[in-house]
Amino acid sequence: MHVVKSVFCTPILVRDWGDSADLNQRLSKIILEKEAKAPTVQRSNIGSWDSNKDFLEWPYAEVQQFKAFIVDAVREITFKATKGKYNPKPEDMFAHAWANVSRADSYRKIHNHESCTWSGVYYVKSRLVKEKCKSSGNIEFLDPRMLCIATELPDSNFGGRVKLLPRAGRMVLFPNWLHHYVNPVEDKSLRICIAFNVKLETSSVKRRMNTMCALGGVS
Ligand SMILES: [Fe+2]
């Protein structure tokens, strides 16, 4: 055998939904109306508005349409990440989501997401960034191999960052534990997105649950 293997790869799905302009316009209106009525929830967002994590329960047909986007994307990344061994059904998926509205100077501190399987973001409205502010509103992922930064090897991918553009109609899906942040929005444009977490109840999770008993009522 004579091979250089690439190991410990991290999947990130980037999917641009064509024909989503009308849906995005309606979602923008729904989200902005909600923003006008509710105070922000404080998470890693600085200067921007976050909704509660109940977005998927908002009573609109557009939200149902968005759920179908999540199901499709989760199937795609899961199938790829398991080398075609697991193609999850919608019944295996549990999700929550929250909307975000960002204006000039707002950003997101470095963070990862709570316990689940996949996390993601979908950009509802985002003007492409001008030449002079190339990083404005971009999402950036850090190399999860924490000690890589100590490797002195120019042009390798050890310790690098992956920067993705927030285009309207784009969904980005990644493992929940992957650290990321959002650069400050540098221009005056409005950016609206929906973030979400998906937990997969795989057969091994269900099997493990079947070996456990509830401890409620024990004092
Ligand atoms: Fe995030």
Query: Which residues are CB-contacts of 70 (< 8 A; sequence separation ≥ 6)?
Result: 93, 95, 97, 120, 196, 198
Q: How far is the CA of 41 from the centre of ligand 1 (A)?
A: 14
* Gap from CA of 213 to ligand 1 centroid (Å): 33
Which domains are seen in the chain, by residue range? 13-201 (2.60.120.620)
Q: What is the pLDDT of residues 29-47, one digit of tens each?
A: 999 999 999 999 999 999 9
Q: Ligand 1 mean position to 139 CA, how many Å? A: 9
HSE-up of residue 132 (Cα within 13 Å, Cβ side): 2
Distance CA 197, CA 116 (A): 7
Instruction: Give distance in angstroms: CA of 196 to centre of ligand 1.
Output: 8
pLDDT by residue (tens digit) across 115-148? 899 999 999 999 766 555 567 889 999 999 989 8
Question: To which H or E segment does residue 113 belong?
Answer: none
- In 3-state terms the chain splits into helix, strand, coil percentages (rounded to 5) of 25, 25, 45
Say how many Å lie between the CA of residue 182 and the centre of ligand 1.
8
Q: What is the pLDDT of residues 138-189, one digit of tens each?
A: 999 999 998 988 899 988 889 989 999 999 999 999 999 999 999 988 878 8
